[in-house]
Amino acid sequence: MSLDRLNKHQREAATRIEGPILILAGAGSGKTSTMTERIAYMIEQGISKYNILAVTFTNKAAKEMRERVEDLVGNIEGMWITTFHSMCLRMLKMDPTKIGYGKNFLIYDTTDQKTLIKSILKARNLSEKEFPIRGIMSTISHCKENILSPKKYLAENEDNYRNRIIAEIYAEYDKQLRANNAMDFDDLLLNGWRLLNENPEVLDEYRRRFRYVMVDEYQDTNYLQYLIVKLLAEEHENICVVGDDDQCIYQWRGADIRNILDFEKDFPSAKVIKLEQNYRSVGNILAGAHSVIENNRDRKKKKLWTDQEDGKKIRYYRAETERDEARYVAQEIENLKIAEDLEWSDFAVLYRTNAQSRTFERYLMDRGIPYRILSGMRYYDRKELKDMIAYMRLIINPKDDVSLRRVINEPKRGIGPKSVAALEDMAQAMGKSMMEVLLDGTGLSVFRGKTLASAEEFTDLVRLLSKEQENLTVSQIYDELLVRTGYVKMLEDEGTVESEGRLENLMEFKSEIADYEKEARENGETSELGDFMEKLALMAEVDNHDETQNAIVLMTMHSSKGLEFPVVFLPGLEDGIFPGSRAMDDKDKMEEERRLCYVAMTRAKKRLFLVSAAMRTQYGRTDYTRESQFLREIDPKLLEGDSVYRGRAGGESLGVSTGSWDGFRAEKPKKPFDMLKFAKEATKANVSAPRGGDDFHAGDKVKHIKFGEGLVIEEDANTLTVIFDTVGRKKLAKGIAHLSKA
């Protein structure tokens, strides 16, 4: 390999291996290249890939880093390039019993947490209005991030009635998580720290293995992540952290800027290397961003520079209203696309809050401009997908009562709340989960008549797929669930536009599974349902940003971190919106808002447009606005267009359309999904095709999609025993074996 592609400071960072290092990498300064070159250099110097740990924050960033390193040094199988949550999950899966968990524990996402807390409130006759679920979740998350147990939180809040009740809810929530053999996302970090902190032999093992630790985006680490990194690295001190205090924008969800600002206090011998040459943005954009961020006091002194041209000045437009603001953005996008021969995907509109997207959607739709919204709600949070995911999780872990409650009557089976409550009472009395008492037969006694038949059918399906999951691919399990649960039939029978859309989503999910299985095959790995569910649970929304989709991207400024676009629009630059009203009288919050402004401005490569509205209607109220403090901080010599201190007057009254169809297409097609009928028929064909049973007998040569070719050696009423060339003897259930004649 050659380090010639790196500049002087990047090369120093890449070749300094021993001892603690802090790399202050400004926006667009090539930190990913520097980190990958550093890993490749270490391997070339004879350091084993097994002794290197590289941790970042998103699956996308980890995947990109792994691919770049492999391009430089070849196969790096066995090396950990991962996210914090994935790293902790991997450690916990190896030693779950050391922290009191069983194998195959589940990961509960936000929806599961809400369901569990809602059931606790109901059991205690507590009102959701008095104790909002989101507020309780936030408190529990804060407690876990700061290692506050329910008992300790209660001790600190004994004199506060409300907090005392929340502490009791927290305790019950924690108890039920353990009973379900489940963890939430905060538990992954908390239990990962506990595993290392409370088990010296485990910590010593990982310290011996990971002699060299690298952490990306160190400014975004929270207290627990900081403690985990410190535990792993404090003995050998071969730690390299990379980050930019000017881009710490997640303090509201636990990120602690002190971790990067105080790194030299934790490791006094640390070498600090600054990467200040920017390769992304033209000079005027960098200068404008710096003129804002230099107003922060709590930051390490640095200034980005570039050898690119200054480029065009930053353009500012003072709109009359939010409608005029959206009209201006849409019009400028159309003009620039033609004048500079750009693609739709070259444009991004970044706003402070999701609520601001509504007006932009309307104007883009009216002009036939394709767009895509990247928002906080994940594709996987849609009801139909959550239902199928719950079924799959129940197959993996029958102790998962949250998933059972979600799907036991979905589709409708006549199993109402009273029956579920009776089943729950029986399970608690027996010290088991609800699914476990159904599987052993005792739980079925709470049902009668048609409901009993439905409950038996539901139980038999879970039992069959749980037993056969090792013999089936993820795709096959998913297809079986789609049809055997009656979910596809339910949506077909509805025959509404909404049900057609839900079917589309279920079919698109098949593509996600197929991609997972393809990647597993290419990596020489087996595709297992448990592994797929873990990958799904750890996927962040920003990982789903498809850079190949030719559409304008609308997203929040927070979501844009790590991305870049030739042309960026920043609307809503008004005091009270950005910076937000809560930051106006709080120094720390104002500095974080300013860092967010810096991040948003430095997403732009060639052109940057700033927009505000003189009058804005929000939540049914219309107010006159004052231009953002951040606009007033930009050097006037860098701006063109309207004066920051002068609003526009006059202008036409603008109307708006009735909204958008799906947030991406310019107009609604005649058919919601041309391939929908084909996809449904393909799913049914796949499930209804001959897959075992009377068609196969002892002596037949058969082929299995997962195990390859084999020979049937035994047969009884319910199973086939097959000797496969690859895995040896397997007993397969008839009717679900997915076999064909060899």
CA distance 257 to 247: 10
CA distance 232 to 703: 48
Are 148 and 160 contacting, i.e. CB atoms less than 8 angstroms apart? Answer: no
* Residue of 56, 83, 247, 485 with catalytic role: 247
Query: Is residue 216 among the annotated active site residues?
Result: yes
Are 324 and 360 contacting, i.e. CB atoms less than 8 angstroms apart? Answer: no
| SS3 (DSSP) at 464 | helix
CA distance 39 to 212: 10
CA distance 217 to 100: 32
Residue 232 backbone zone (phi > 0: left; psi -120 to 50: alpha; other: beta) = alpha
Are 11 and 3 contacting, i.e. CB atoms less than 8 angstroms apart? Answer: yes
**Would you state the structure tokens that stand for residue 27, as one six-digit string?**
């926006």
Query: Is residue 129 among the annotated active site residues?
Result: no
Query: Is residue 217 among the annotated active site residues?
Result: yes
* Residue of 112, 217, 512, 592 with catalytic role: 217
To the nearest 10°, report the CA torsion of 89, 94, 96, 97. -170
Question: 41 phi and psi, to 5 degrees?
Answer: -65, -40
Output the CA angle 181-186-190, nearest 5 degrees.
85
* Residue of 11, 15, 32, 93 with catalytic role: 32
Query: Is residue 308 among the annotated active site residues?
Result: no
Query: Is residue 582 among the annotated active site residues?
Result: no
Q: CB-based contacts of 216: which residues, under 8 Å, 6+ apart?
A: 31, 35, 54, 55, 56, 57, 61, 65, 242, 243
CA distance 23 to 51: 21
- Which residues are 720's β-sheet partners? 715, 732
**Would you state the structure tokens that stand for residue 554, as one six-digit string?**
């609308």
- 193 DSSP 8-state letter: H
- 4 DSSP 8-state letter: T
| Packing angle of the helix pair 223-233, 84-94 (nearest 10 deg) | 60
DSSP, residue by residue, 689-739: S--SSTT--TT-EEEETTTEEEEEEEE-SSEEEEEETTTEEEEEETTS--E
Query: Is residue 603 among the annotated active site residues?
Result: yes
347-351 and 552-556 beta bridge pairing:
parallel
Are 570 and 631 contacting, i.e. CB atoms less than 8 angstroms apart? Answer: no
* Residue of 174, 216, 401, 424 with catalytic role: 216
Are 278 and 564 contacting, i.e. CB atoms less than 8 angstroms apart? Answer: no
CA distance 258 to 266: 11
Segment (H or E) for 111: helix 110-123
* Residue of 10, 31, 221, 432 with catalytic role: 31
User: How far is CA 208 from each of CA 53, 89, 90, 238, 412, rounded to the nearest angstrom?
Assistant: 12, 19, 17, 12, 54
Neighbours of 621 (CB within 10 A): 7
Sequence-distant contacts of 98-104: CB under 8 A, at least 24 apart: 98/195, 98/198, 98/199, 98/202, 99/191, 99/194, 99/195, 99/198, 100/178, 101/178, 101/181, 101/183, 101/191, 102/181, 104/181, 104/396, 104/397, 104/530
* Residue of 352, 406, 603, 734 with catalytic role: 603
Segment (H or E) for 612: strand 604-613
Q: How many residues does the chain have?
A: 742
Catalytically active residues, by annotation: 31-32, 216-217, 247, 603
